[in-house]
């Protein structure tokens, strides 16, 4: 057993950035289930949003975020996000993140649903990778203790306060306990719930499951963002085609070559992601095709090759020259907007337990995340977590009060027909078909019954694969049950049996286990 002031679970940008700030306040241990280099951050192409350009302002950034969130954003959290963004960008620059520049100034680009260009990039379309590499280099060079190949399995709580964590050492198969003053979950999302996704294979909902079992509140799980444009090539794992491609002038066309987005939205190709994703599915159904196309052949070749070098090269490596022919794309699961409910200081309802990054639900995204706000959310609220703990190193805060209406997962009856074994592929197929971009009560109810039956049949986990399977089943249940409860359509949650947004549903769905 060992003791640290801070234990951070996860080694993406949220975990690394928080660790670098925390080391100034006390001893820090970072636990990660793979290597420090395994994370979703590396796949983040779009960039990071901040109101630092001429003609922009935090108020404009606030407004765009609120509009995208479709009535469910926490306005206080969004103001914090927009107002503190410039200072956090300056901090990343000081850390050495090499943002792209033009004429000596940081270059800014436009993405969907932003009113002005405010997206910073590094290496064109490799922003996440550059930030991750910069931070991981700093962590390795610091006194921060890092344990790789170590999977967190249980949060230890005594009298409503975090005491530490249990973790599986994947190399020895042994379980160890680590005690701490503050535990920060930075475990990323849960894209592996879905058959088609843009996430790393580490995104298995671990933080959600850990926190839920410990008694933390889980909020907004019905809102899972499906990126509209993932490369769709036979035998090729879905590869993200950044929204910035449309921001630079890329045009979505159906199988007949028709530019269809103006038929669905006055914003055309720059409509919010949920609108674009559904529009693509409708066009695929109309034309009987498995995909649509993103067309950049009308752009000067140097724009594509210099602005999107990774995308261009990946496509070229798979026999597709996007300078000369459109790229086939289709929607894929991308980002979990719900998560562990936190205050604007990253606190959960369990004293000493904090959450950061995609696994947290700060309230800034609401029902639909504005493009490139995710990495910004990490640096803004991670900074606030450390500021909060710095004030409370001698006396811990009282637990936050529970939501007035918290739900528990229902004890569902067994489904009538045989249930397939809960393998990763059957789980992903179930969620994609029945809890995907377009939903309905019948399919959601069927999925809920199967997931409940799976959870009852699961044997105690013994290794990484079985722990991840159990975490995915639980996280899948939270997504599905929340989608069943929300009898309306709002943001990324769309139900054909309730196709409109309703005023009475301008509220959050929160689950607790205790």
Rounded distance, CA 370 to CA 46, Å?
11
DSSP 232: -
Rounded distance, CA 328 to CA 495, Å?
26
Closest of 276, 273, 280 to residue 370, by C-alpha: 273
Rounded to 5°, the CA angle 174-202-281 comes to: 150
Rounded distance, CA 150 to CA 166, Å?
10
DSSP 56: -
Residue 225 pairs in a beta bridge with 335
Closest of 12, 41, 45 to residue 313, by C-alpha: 45
Strand-strand pairing, 218-219 and 339-341? antiparallel
Residues 134-164, buried b or exposed e (16+ Cβ, 10 A)? bbbebbeeeebbbebbbbbbebbbeeebbbb
Burial environment of residue 262 by CB neighbours within 10 A (0 to 12, 13 to 18, 19 or more): middle
SS3 120: strand
**Backbone dihedral region for residue 160 (phi beyond 0: left; psi -120 to 50: alpha; all else: beta):** left
DSSP 510: E
- The residue from 118, 181, 246, 273 that is catalytic is 273
The DSSP code sequence of 143-157 is S-EEE-SEEEEEEEE
| Number of residues written out for the chain | 514
Q: At what angle do helices 424-434 and 464-485 cross, to 10 degrees?
A: 10
- 273 catalytic, yes or no? yes
Phi, psi of 294 (to 5 degrees): -105, 125
Phi, psi of 130 (to 5 degrees): -65, -40
Residue 439 pairs in a beta bridge with 495
C-alpha separations of 207 from 32, 92, 435 in Å: 12, 25, 21
DSSP tally for the chain: helices H, then strands E: 13, 22
Residue 184 pairs in a beta bridge with 8, 354
Closest of 40, 27, 109, 105 to residue 358, by C-alpha: 40
Pair 365, 381: CB distance under 8 Å = no
| Active site (catalytic) residues | 273
């Amino acid at each position: 057993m060992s003791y640290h002031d801070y234990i951070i679970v996860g080694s993406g940008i949220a975990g690394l950035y928080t660790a670098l700030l925390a080391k100034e306040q006390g001893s820090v241990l970072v636990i990660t289930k793979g290597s420090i280099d395994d994370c979703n951050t590396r796949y983040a192409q779009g960039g990071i949003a901040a109101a630092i350009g001429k003609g922009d302002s935090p108020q404009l950034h606030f407004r765009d975020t609120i509009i995208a969130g479709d009535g469910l954003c926490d306005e206080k959290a969004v103001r914090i996000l927009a107002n503190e963004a410039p200072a956090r960008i300056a901090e990343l620059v000081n850390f050495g993140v090499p943002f792209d520049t033009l004429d000596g100034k940081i270059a800014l680009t436009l993405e969907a649903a932003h009113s002005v260009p405010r997206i910073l990039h590094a290496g064109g379309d490799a922003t996440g990778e550059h930030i991750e590499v910069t931070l991981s280099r700093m962590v390795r060079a610091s006194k921060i203790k890092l344990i790789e190949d170590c999977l967190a399995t249980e949060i230890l709580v005594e009298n409503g306060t975090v005491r530490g964590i249990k973790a599986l050492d994947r190399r020895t198969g042994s379980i160890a306990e680590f005690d701490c003053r503050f535990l920060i979950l930075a475990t990323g999302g849960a894209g592996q719930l879905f058959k088609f996704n843009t996430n790393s294979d580490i995104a298995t909902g671990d933080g959600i499951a850990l926190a839920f079992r410990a008694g933390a509140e889980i909020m907004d799980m019905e809102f899972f963002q499906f990126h509209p444009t993932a490369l769709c090539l036979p035998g090729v794992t879905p590869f993200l085609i950044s929204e910035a491609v449309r921001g630079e002038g890329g045009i979505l066309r159906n199988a007949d070559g028709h530019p269809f987005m103006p038929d669905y939205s006055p914003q055309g190709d720059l409509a919010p992601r949920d609108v674009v994703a559904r529009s693509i599915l409708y066009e695929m159904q109309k034309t009987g095709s498995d995909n649509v196309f993103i067309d950049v052949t009308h752009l000067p070749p140097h724009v594509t090759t210099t602005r999107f070098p990774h995308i261009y090269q990946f496509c070229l490596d798979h026999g597709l020259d996007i300078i000369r022919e459109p790229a086939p794309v289709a929607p894929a699961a991308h980002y979990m907007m719900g998560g562990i409910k936190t205050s604007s200081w990253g606190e959960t309802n369990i004293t000493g337990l904090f959450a950061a990054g995609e696994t947290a639900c700060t309230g800034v995204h609401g029902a639909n995340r504005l493009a490139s706000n995710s990495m910004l959310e990490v640096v803004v609220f991670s900074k606030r977590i450390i500021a909060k703990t710095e004030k409370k190193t001698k006396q811990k805060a009282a637990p936050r009060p529970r939501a007035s209406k918290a739900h528990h997962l229902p004890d569902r009856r067994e489904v009538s027909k045989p249930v397939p074994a809960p393998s990763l592929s059957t789980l992903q197929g179930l969620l994609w078909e029945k809890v995907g971009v377009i939903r309905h009560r019948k399919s959601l109810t069927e999925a809920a019954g199967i997931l409940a039956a799976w959870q009852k049949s699961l044997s105690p986990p013994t290794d990484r694969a079985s722990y991840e399977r159990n975490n995915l089943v639980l996280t899948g249940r939270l997504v599905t049950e929340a989608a069943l409860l929300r009898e309306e359509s709002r943001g990324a949650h769309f139900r054909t049996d309730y196709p409109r947004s309703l005023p009475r549903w301008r509220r959050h769905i929160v689950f607790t286990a205790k």
